């Protein structure tokens, strides 16, 4: 979407990103490294592309090969297992190899601008590592925040004095190149970003905890923030600047934030592994959906994600797509792509 909005979608981008699907596609906790894939394509000595024919090594899972198959850009794998120093090395090699016109560090939601002690933070480690790595570079990096507050971690009002004015606003036209991806990709933040770009407003409930996220006119905006100010503010990013392993970075997160998000994933993974697969028959599922929607309406919720519905109904990640297909086929008027609409009254 950013490529379409800023660069007109005319040139291919190198998207340097984590393979970290948060137990939605991948049953294993934490991010995947190069050893978790077959058929990767070397770009530099330490950077590998994830092409469409790449395969995650079972039981790992990843959305990256399918993204590579559906989008015209190249996906390169961030490997955080060597800490911020390792990511910096990867970036330096990419810059030398590509001589890019620009380097954009993009965060959806804005939690990369956190201090690290905010009680609403849920997943600061990946942001802190990439922020630290970019600050170590001897190259200009533009820090962009898309959809302030849309990740459900820092409220948009808390971010306004931490970033500049909007540099652009996404529209439905910018969403169109990824419309097919939105039909299956589990990212809630991206789904809400796309929905607000299409004009959807209301209150969206996300994640297993049911976090409420306002969908407003501010949702599709993209802001530039000062990279140096971000690293000065972000205690965790400063702490991981010299880390050489993910284990070391995790320990800093426990000390500064009070937890490691990968510990949370480890515990959740163990719990999910022992959870029996629940019945997905239409009658039973729609009856349970009615109860969920009635309770959500009482909370003022107007929209939710298919991830949230899946977990609220006690289903597992492998059932999410089947649930989505059932709901859309049964109640198509409630599908406001890529979100699920909860009307004021049952339809």
| In the chain, domain spans | 2-170+220-239, 282-341
Distances (CA, A) of 96 to 35, 46, 99, 100, 207: 24, 13, 6, 9, 39
DSSP string, 309-341: HHHHTT--GGGHHHHHHHHHHH-GGGEETTEEE
- Write down the H helix ranges in 136-197: 156-159, 172-175, 179-182, 188-197
Going from the first residue of the chain to its last (347 residues), give the mean pLDDT of each consecutive group of 10, the final group possibly shorter.
Answer: 84 93 92 98 98 97 98 97 98 97 96 93 96 97 98 94 96 95 96 98 95 97 98 98 98 96 95 86 96 97 97 91 97 97 85
Burial class (CB in 10 A: 0-12, 13-18, 19+), 301: buried
CA terminus-to-terminus distance, the chain: 33
Comparing CA positions, the residue from 266, 12, 5, 233 lying closest to residue 127 is 233
Q: What is the DSSP letter of 19?
A: B
Comparing CA positions, the residue from 246, 210, 270, 260 lying closest to residue 27 is 270
Burial class (CB in 10 A: 0-12, 13-18, 19+), 84: buried
pLDDT at 316: 85
pLDDT at 9: 67
pLDDT at 250: 98
pLDDT at 102: 93
pLDDT at 112: 98
Using CA atoms, how far apart are residues 157 and 18, in angstroms rounded to an integer? Answer: 28
Using CA atoms, how far apart are residues 249 and 85, in angstroms rounded to an integer? Answer: 11
pLDDT at 277: 83
Using CA atoms, how far apart are residues 94 and 17, in angstroms rounded to an integer? Answer: 13
pLDDT at 249: 98
């Amino acid at each position: 979407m950013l490529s379409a909005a800023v660069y007109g979608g005319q040139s291919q981008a190198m998207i340097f990103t984590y393979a970290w699907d948060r137990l939605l596609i991948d049953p294993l906790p934490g991010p995947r490294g190069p050893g978790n894939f077959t058929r990767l394509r070397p770009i530099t000595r330490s950077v590998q592309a994830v092409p469409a024919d790449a395969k995650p090594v079972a039981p790992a899972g990843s959305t990256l090969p399918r993204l590579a198959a559906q989008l015209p850009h190249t996906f390169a794998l961030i490997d955080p297992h060597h800490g911020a120093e390792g990511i910096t090395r990867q970036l330096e090699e990419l810059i030398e190899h590509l001589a890019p016109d620009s380097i954009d560090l993009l965060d959806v939601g804005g939690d990369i601008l956190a201090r690290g002690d905010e009680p609403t933070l849920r997943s600061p480690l990946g942001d802190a590592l990439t922020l630290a790595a970019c600050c170590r570079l001897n190259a200009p990096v533009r820090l962009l925040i898309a959809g302030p507050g849309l990740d459900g971690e820092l409220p948009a009002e808390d971010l306004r004095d931490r970033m500049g004015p909007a540099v652009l606003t996404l529209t439905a036209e910018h969403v169109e190149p990824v419309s097919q991806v939105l039909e299956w990709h589990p990212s809630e933040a991206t789904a809400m970003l796309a929905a607000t770009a299409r004009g959807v407003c209301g209150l969206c409930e996300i994640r297993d905890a049911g976090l409420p996220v306002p969908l407003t006119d501010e949702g599709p905006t993209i802001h530039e923030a000062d990279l140096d100010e971000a690293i000065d503010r972000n205690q965790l990013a400063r702490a991981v600047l010299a880390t050489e392993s993910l284990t070391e970075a995790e320990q800093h997160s426990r000390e500064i934030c009070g937890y490691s998000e990968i510990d949370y994933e480890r515990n959740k993974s163990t719990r999910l592994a022992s959870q029996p697969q629940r019945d997905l028959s239409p009658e039973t599922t729609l009856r349970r959906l009615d109860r969920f929607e009635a309770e959500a309406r009482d909370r003022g919720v107007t929209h939710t994600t298919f991830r949230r519905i899946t977990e609220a109904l006690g289903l597992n990640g492998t059932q999410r797509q089947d649930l989505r297909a059932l709901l859309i086929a049964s109640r198509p008027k409630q599908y406001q792509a890529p979100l699920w609409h909860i009307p004021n009254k049952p339809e």
